[in-house]
Amino acid sequence: MSNEDLYVEFARQKADIAKLQSQVAALENIVYQRNVPEGIPVLKYERSGVREKLSVQEILKDLDVALSDRLEVVGENEVRAREYFHDKDDWSTINKVLKQHGFKWVSQGKESCWRRQ
């Protein structure tokens, strides 16, 4: 390949990368509820991109009943586990749902809980 062919190939690949970066940014906007285009369904979110503050009970409805029964709601901004989660997948599932709603795991031994920030 000549230098000119290499330059043309490099320019084509650079354009492809820019196009992919644009597509990734658009998908991130949809996932993170930023500037979501009309017609894209957005559940439980305001169009401004600010997450609607749901009650803990509404959030726990997203979980399997068997998992939500293992949790104790302590006020509007705190959720505790009623028992130790031997299955890390169960804990991860709960953590993922609560994290989406602004809760963070606070590790304090027997007093460990998820707190909304």
Q: What is the pLDDT of residues 56-102, one digit of tens each?
A: 888 888 788 888 899 999 988 899 999 988 888 999 999 988 888 88
Q: What is the rounded CA–CA span in Å between residue 105 and residue 114?
A: 4
Which residue in 98, 102, 103 sits closest to 52, CA to CA?
A: 102
List CB contacts of 91: < 8 A, sequence separation 6 or more.
81, 85
* Bridge partner residues of 71 (DSSP): 81
Q: What is the rounded CA–CA span in Å between residue 29 and residue 22?
A: 11
**pLDDT of the residue at 113:** 93
